[in-house]
Each structure stands twice: as C-alpha cells, then as structure tokens.
Amino acid sequence: MELDRMDENDWKYHGEGNKSLVVSHVQHCRVLRLLKYPAEDSENPPQTAEQAFRQIQNIVDFTSNVMSCLLGEKFVHSGEVVRLPLEFVRQLSIKIQHQRPAWRCDKVMDIYSGCALCLPNLTSPTLHQPTPTPPLCIEIKPKCGFLPSPKHVSKDIKTRVCRYCMHQHYKVANGKWKRRSLYCPLDLFSGNRQRMHFAIRHLIEEPQNNLKVFKGGQCIYSSKEGSDESPDTNSLLHHLRPYFLRGNNRVNGHMTTKAVLNDFIQVLGNALLSAAGGDGGQVTDRTGEGRSFCEASLFNRERIRHGSQGLPTNNILSRILQTQMLDSLDIEGLYPLYCRVEQHLQDFPKDRTGLQIDGPYDQNFLEKVQKCSMEDDGSVEYAAAKVHQYRIAMTAKDCSIMVTLVPSGEEEDDDEE
C-alpha cells in the first residue's frame, strides 16, 4: 500500500462500531480502522495527531503483547499504525458518509490526525490458488460463555440466566431489535456438538450483531438494527448450495434446503471445535460446572446424549472462554476495587504510570495480570491488577471469530477444508 498515492475511490465503507470506523480496499485484502469521536467535536478534535497515533499504537501493543499471548498468536491479527495523507482522509469521509447507518452518525470519523490501524481483510482472504467459487467467511461474535459466581452478585437471576439472554429482552423492549434471538452463548461454549449446533442454528435464524456471512469479501447475510424484516435465510442457503453439492445429502444432483443448512451448521461446528494443533487436543470437562448452563436456553438438557461436554484445550473457543473468565468478580465485585484505584490516583496522580493504567502494554503488564493474587490484600496494586484483568476479559467477551471456508479441489473428497 503506497501511502503517498492514496485514492479515496480505491476504498469502500465496510462497517463501524462505537469507537472506530472501517473501510476496505476494493482490490487488495486490506482494511483501515479509523477513530471516531462525538459529532459535536467535529470542528474541535479532542486530541492531537500524536495522541491519536499513541492511542492506536496502544491498541496494537495490547493486541500483540497481551491478547495474542492469551488467545494464541495464530488466532490474532495485531495490525500496524499508518499515517495517511489528510486530504485522502477528508475525501474518504465525504465519500462514505451516505453509506453509514443513521444511528451511527452521532459520531464522526477522525479527519484531523491522519492515523489509522491497517489490518488484513479477513472477509476476503488471499488464496494461493484461485477456486471455482470464492471463499466464505463467517464472522461470529460469541459473547460471554459463562455465568458469574454467586459470591459476588446481588441478584440471584445473574447466576441462572446469562447476560446475553437477559439483554435480549431489554433490546427488544427498547426497539433495538424487533425479535428476540434464541441463541445462547453458553450452548456455543459447551463443547457438546448438539448444544453447539443448536446455538449456531439460532444464530443463523436471528443473527443480529452476532453473525455475518461474507462471500468473496461481500456481506451476503446479516441483520439490520430496528428493521421489521427478518434476514433472508433462503437467500443465504441459495449462496451456500454450490459449496455443499458434493455431500451425501444430495438427491439427483440437488440438495434440500434442510440438507444445505445442516451441512453448513456441521462444518461451522467442526471448525469451532478444531484444536490449534489439529490433533483434537485434551478436552476440558465442564459437566460439573453449574455455570455452564443458562436457564433461558431452549435447549433441553435431557437431549444431551453421551459425548464430549467440554472444549479441546488448544481450541479457540476454549482460549476465549478462559480469557473471559479473568473476570472472576463480575462488575459488582470489581466496582469497589475500581473506586479504590480511582481514589488513590486522585491522591497520588503520579502513580498512574507505575500502575500502568494507560500502558505500556508490555511483558511486565501481562505478568502483573497473570500473577495477580487470588486474595485481596487491600493494596492499590491488587485492585489495579483486577481492573486490568476485567478489561482483558471484556475484550474477549466482545471479540469476533472469523471462520474461513475454502472450497476443496475437485479431486478431493471433503466438502470444505
């Protein structure tokens, strides 16, 4: 990417979250993630260019030195900070403005710093050899996969119903979504194939922000917030059919819609259960954990037949779950510790650096997090370490898993590889 020859017409709107906006290159497998800030600050940037650069570099450091170590380097892309021509950024902002969802326009793209995070576009992977049909990429936001300990929560319901399922009622009530999703993260993280397939099926039926399907880099299946229309599952299955025609469920060269959906769910389940080393890995048994079942899930526990009730230890879901569980106190148990840190910093502001509140996110930071005592000794160091653990856990609770399915060669037997 030649930074001195940037043309806004080579880039298109890709998506955005609360803190940043993403554009993708129309030819190369690259995306740029740019910062956002409130619209009222559009003529008065809240930080300097150097502060913006440092903020994005902190994201890179946090990803490469902390999240990569916890989730596994092969599963995480850290990216790099780039400085872009200001005129390019301003023209890009004008070009994509009409493509942004109206409800996201309370914030504007940073057009003053020229800083961005450059990452590979995982929705359109680079292939060594072209395939007759483009690769599929499925983005899954699994959310939190466990229930908090009763020791730290004041409401009993929080120990029985997961946060995601509770929020579904709230989001429907305030109009964010028209229909409640029946997906439950605890089913996906269970490691039991029946529960996982059940969860994936409900993700497909009501994807909301938790599932998107891309074909050759183009989003072919997702939900729109506040829309009365249900996502077109039949259209998705029409796109998927060519990828599964060589399966065992075809009839006279054709497949039923149900067979396509079942094959897709099974392939996704296999991908999510695969271990990093490809050998299946040791299984962590969670059958004894009361925190691995959510009462709001419609999955009938009596349906579970004999089989695995846990995840392979090197598996990406297992790594995400273990990182999420660094939040051992829940927000209720953490808040007093947060207040302890806040009060200490008001009294001793210079300690902010030593406690690494704003980084640097290096090996020393990771060691503090991993070696944090289980018992509260009343120190600000303990409180700060628990706050750091919570921040890392929240990152894992909001991460996306990108699963790429590449059509196998004609001479091979498997549908996907």
- Does a structural domain hold residue 407? no
* Same domain as 331, residue 279: no
pLDDT given for residue 124 in this prediction: 86
* End position of a domain, from candidates 85, 120, 155: 120
Residue 126 placed within a domain: no
Among residues 271, 276, 241, 277, the alpha carbon closest in space to that of 256 is found at 241
Residue 160 lies inside a defined structural domain of this protein: yes
State the pLDDT at residue 267: 95
189 and 147 within one domain: yes
> Is 254 within a domain?
yes
Burial classification of residue 314, based on how many CB atoms lie within 10 Å of its CB (0-12 exposed, 13-18 middle, 19 or more buried): middle
The answer on 250 and 147 residing in a single domain is yes
Q: What is the largest CA-CA distance in the chain?
A: 77
Q: Is the dihedral of CA 357, 323, 210, 291 positive or negative?
A: negative
Q: Are 40 and 27 in contact (CB under 8 A)?
A: no
What CA–CA distance (Å, rounded) separates 405 from 251? 24
Q: Is residue 274 part of a domain?
A: yes
Contact 360, 54 (CB under 8 A): no
HEC string of 10-74 equals: HEEEEEECCCEEEEEECCCCEEEEEEEEEHHHCCCCCCCHHHHHHHHHHHHHHHHHHHHHHHCHH
Please identify, among 283, 304, 323, the residue that sits at the C-terminal boundary of a domain.
Answer: 323
Amino acid at 231: P
User: Are 93 and 160 members of one domain?
Assistant: no
Give the bridge partners for 232, in sequence order: none
Query: Does residue 367 contact residue 300 with C-beta atoms inside 8 Å?
Result: no
SS3 (DSSP) at 413: coil
C-beta separation of 179 from 230 below 8 A: yes
Count how many Cα atoms sit within 13 Å of the Cα of residue 30 in the half-sphere of its side chain. Answer: 15
405 φ/ψ sector (left φ>0, alpha ψ -120 to 50, else beta): beta
Report the distance separating Cα 233 and Cα 239, nearest Å: 10
Q: Does 374 lie in the same domain as 290?
A: no
79 located within any domain: yes
* Interatomic CA distance for residues 61 and 78, integer angstroms: 8
User: Does 166 lie in the same domain as 313?
Assistant: yes
Task: Say if residue 110 is in the same domain as residue 23.
Answer: yes
C-alpha span between 269 and 90 (Å, rounded): 43
The reply to whether 184 and 70 lie within a common domain is no
Domain count, the chain: 3
d(CA 94, CA 111): 10
- 416 assigned to some structural domain: no
Residue 311's domain comprises 136-323
- C-alpha span between 304 and 308 (Å, rounded): 10
Same domain, 188 and 300: yes
From 273, 299, 323, give the residue that closes a domain. 323
d(CA 273, CA 266) in angstroms, rounded, equals 10
Q: Give the domain CATH number at 82.
A: 3.30.200.110
164 and 302 together in one domain: yes
β-bridge mates for residue 13, sequence order: 23
Based on the fold, state whether residues 226 and 93 are members of the same structural domain.
no
Same domain (yes/no): 176, 87: no
- The answer to whether residue 19 sits within a structural domain is yes
Q: Are 386 and 329 in contact (CB under 8 A)?
A: yes
Find the length of the chain: 417
Contacts of 379 (CB under 8 A, 6+ apart): none
**In contact, 369 and 381? CB cutoff 8 Å:** no
Confidence at residue 291, expressed as pLDDT on a 0 to 100 scale: 72
pLDDT tens per residue across all 417 residues of the chain: 666 689 999 999 999 988 999 999 998 899 999 999 998 877 788 899 999 999 999 999 999 999 999 999 999 999 999 999 999 999 999 999 999 988 889 999 999 999 999 999 999 877 766 777 889 999 999 999 999 999 989 999 999 999 999 999 999 998 888 889 999 999 999 999 999 999 999 999 999 989 999 998 899 999 877 667 788 999 999 999 988 876 555 544 567 889 999 999 999 999 999 876 444 444 455 544 557 899 999 997 766 665 556 888 889 999 999 999 999 999 999 999 999 999 999 999 999 999 999 999 999 999 999 999 989 999 999 999 999 999 999 999 999 999 999 877 643 333 333
Report the alpha-carbon distance of residue 34 to residue 139 in Å, rounded. Answer: 20
Q: Which two tokens stand for residue 148?
A: 């908090």
